[in-house]
Amino acid sequence: MTGTLTRVLGATSAWTLRGLMQSIDAHRTALVVTVFLLLLAPHAGAAQSAKSSASKYLADYSRAFEDLAQAASPAVVQIHVHALAALGKGEEERTGFVSEREASGSGVLVDPDGYIVTNAHVIRSARRIEVAILRSDEKGEAPHGHLLPAKLIGMDQEVDLAVLKIEGHNFPALSFVNSDKLRQGQLVLALGSPLGLQNTLTHGVVSATRRQLRPQSPVVYIQTDAPINPGNSGGPLLDAEGRIAGINTLILTESGGNEGIGFAIPANVAKDVYQRLRKDGRVRRGLIGVIPDDITPRLAEALGLDRDSGVILSDVAPESAAAAAGLQSGDIVLAIDGTPVREVHDVIQTVFQHAPGDRLSMEVLRNKQKLSVTVAVLERKNEPSQLEDLANYDTSLVRQLGILALTIDEKVNAILPDHRLLTGVAVAAVPAEYAVLNPGLLAGDVIYSVNKQRVESLDDLKNLLASRKAGDAIALQVERSGRLIYVTTALE
């Protein structure tokens, strides 16, 4: 694939928007018909009449867009992030030092009580988050900007979504559409703050409904030609009824700007992640223990299959949920929960979208006999990336080691259940702005001691490091992937 995938950082009711968008479609159709008649008009009188009608429909078409922007914009917010960033060679070569930087992106209110959906990459590493909303004040003035502090409820970096909360009630909010029903060519509109320009509206069409950008990735995107640029991230892509069709996230570009190839996280995925983050603060994902493969003509010939497309299970893990349900290597997957399976991604995405504890009804073909099995979805184990969702930047930062860390507790144990000791400190993440100070620790490592002195909590680790002076040699005893190793460094 040519080009570069770039994350574009940086009060109305549903019936009102639905009416506006239907009006836009009607006026657009009428305008096209009128212009066609204008071209075919046989004499001046008819031409003048057609021209007058065209002008009327054009004016109505324009006003419909104006009304839509006025109605939907109050639910779309600009997000201001204050984060730490590393000072590098371009700044007096002060490697290892950091300064506070500001960045901005977009978000959308999805609940009148102040819940906002945005992209995880918009607020990653944020020390402070503020949200600019458009609303009228008590004097009844036209909607204008108000800046409010926002709290991070949770984020899911695997899908690149986050949920924020601002205090208050009766905020204008937009609802989600069933994105499975989107069609190629459907009219869509993007709202957000590209390049910091708050309250910007653009429009286009759905270019593709299920675009997979990376092989074996469970995440698919809506592709659109609606212009989006850096700063649009986290803003909504609206459908023809004024509902959220997707959350704008990426652009494919060779120039760094919009080239008409943008991507949005589908509304069904965004809604599911929003609900899980709002409820639990993190997203738990599961697995069933199978490796699916696409059936090719050559594979079908070699295995004597009666079909040259579809999905076959190349492996079923021993002692997995799939094995317990009776699935076997060589089974052909026909459907999951009643939905036909045509390619590997159908299996991967279906499992990805289900939470641990859910059950999947699978129809498979084995030796030309159809079988129905029910498979439990079990929680993934040892997913270190989930630890970052538990970390608070200010309290979890261990600057001397360039890491975010957590005291081992019940929540950490749920993510890293198999470490050797009951106490210690887990490495949650390695922030990019402090990576130069990191001696080689990885997310998921568990620190047990500093220079032979036992570490039982994050406070212990911080105190032991604080008692050393610059240049002192440090040896950390660390458990990584079930093995104990030493990680050494000298304090800066």
In the chain, % helix, strand, coil (3-state, to 5) comes to 30, 35, 35
Measured CA distances, 330 to 218, 306, 373 (Å):
22, 13, 15
The pairing of beta strand 4-7 with beta strand 244-253 = antiparallel
Q: Catalytic: which of 104, 106, 179, 233?
A: 233
Residue 2: both structure tokens together? 């040519």
Told to judge if 160 belongs to the known catalytic residues of this protein, a careful annotator would answer yes
Active site residue 80: no
Calpha distance 164→277 (Å, rounded)? 10
Q: Is 92 exposed, middle or buried (0-12, 13-18, 19+ CB in 10 A)?
A: exposed
The residue with tokens 């943008």 is 262
| β-pairing verdict for 339-340 and 359-366 | unpaired
CA–CA distance from 391 to each of 32, 126, 281 (Å)?
Answer: 55, 12, 11
* Catalytic one of 156, 160, 239, 460: 160
The question of whether 60 is a catalytic residue gets the answer: no
Closest CA to 265 of 284, 250, 290, 246: 246
Of the residues 80, 121, 345, 419, only one is catalytic, namely 121
Residue 112's SS3 state is coil
Helix axes 14-40, 44-72, angle to 10 degrees: 160
DSSP run (H or E) holding 287 = strand 286-287
Distance CA 366, CA 312 (A): 10
State the Rg of the chain over Cα. 27
Render 423-455 in DSSP notation, one character per residue: S-EEEEE--GGGGGG--S--TT-EEEEETTEE-
Beta strands, E only, 10-96: 76-87
Amino acid letter, residue 474: I
Which two tokens mark 105?
Answer: 């992106």
- 191: which residues sit within 8 A by CB, 6+ positions away? 69, 72, 73, 76, 106, 108, 199, 200, 201, 235, 236, 238
Active site residues: 121, 160, 233
